[in-house]
Amino acid sequence: MNSKKINFLMNKIKKIGILTSGGDCGGLNAAIRSIFFRAKRKYGMEVFGIRDGTIGLVKRPVDVEKLTHETFKGYLLRQGGTFLGSNNKGNSFKFPKNGKVIDTSELIIQGYKSLKLDGLIIIGGDGSMQILKRLADKGKMNIVAIPKTIDNDVGATENSIGFHTAVDVATQALDNLQSTAASHRRSMILEVMGRDAGHIALNAGIAGGADVILIPEIKYSINGVIKKLNEMKKNKIQHSLIIVAEAVKKEDGSKVMHKYMDGEKRLGGIGDYIASEIMKKTDIECRVTTLGHVQRGAPPTANDRILASAFGVYAVDLLANKKFNRMVAWNNRRVVDVAIDEGIKTYRNVKRDDPLVETALSLGTYLGEIR
């Protein structure tokens, strides 16, 4: 046996951590479960769950739970959210606390080292991965990343954990709104999440039979929307379904934001704007439903459970083989890995040549001023 192989075996990965960071979504518990079983059954590793994202590493003592088979009995696989907790409040290098902004990076690195971990699997979106990669570089932490986001906007992967569940929730909402729209001959407007990417609205709009799909990537006009609704009336269809992504702007190009009690401004309210503009110019009665966080907290679909399980297995294998600073991804019906920096370098939004754009147009859906 050569010296390199002896050294590898002597320094093999024995103890790993998991944390979930950023907004929650369906499939996170399935990923954690998969990581545990792969790590335990194939490699005999100890696995620790860090609570509330990087906040768990800031706390003293570090807020951590040793995961066992007992942890995963019952319904965890089927539950939305993350039983470890998460955090999406700010950057670890500029963390808001007591009205001030502090750098918690050293505390996080010290917390990681105090656990004597050989590696850390982070489950997060592009923002979380960017911050944690920076922390890993600073503190020489061995990390592997799993992409999760309902927005499906991480550039290097075709699908992220949570996206399918969000689409399913939005589709079910359109199914439910269809009957009430028909009963009252109304236009029902559904506002969905997605940040600056229109994937949820486009996918759910097609699946749920929306007559109008508005996404941030394609310019629209209120007159264009009204023209579509009037065409439906001519065909004796007196009701309609409109789905709109939260980051769609007003016709003048301004964003619609909602100010919350904590003082933060977040995307929200474009559905009300669309309804108001339609009713100003027509006799069409509109009602608005904003889905909000039900898209995050729903039980994960089969697709998200499967994707999360496949990602978890692959991530553990990367750590076991000491392939650090890698992100798992789903491409061409298989799990692959890329450098984290490469994985988050590009933003994945809806492109004009996306096959689903052509699908929606072929169904007669108004998707904006496309020529």
Q: Which of 117, 149, 136, 134 is nearest to 25 (CA)?
A: 149
Active-site hit among 24, 118, 126, 151 = 151
- Cα Rg of the chain, angstroms: 23
DSSP string, 311-361: HHHHHHHHHHTT--SEEEEEETTEEEEEEHHHHTTSB----TT-HHHHHHH
Q: Cβ(125)–Cβ(154) under 8 Å?
A: yes
Establish whether 151 is a catalytic residue: yes
Instruction: Give 183's contacts (C-beta < 8 A, 6+ positions apart).
Output: none
Tell me the C-alpha distance between 194 and 192, whole Å. 7
Sign for the pseudo-dihedral over CA of 74, 312, 29, 163: negative
Tell me the C-alpha distance between 133 and 144, whole Å. 9
Q: Which of 28, 305, 4 is nearest to 149 (CA)?
A: 28
The residues that are catalytic are 151
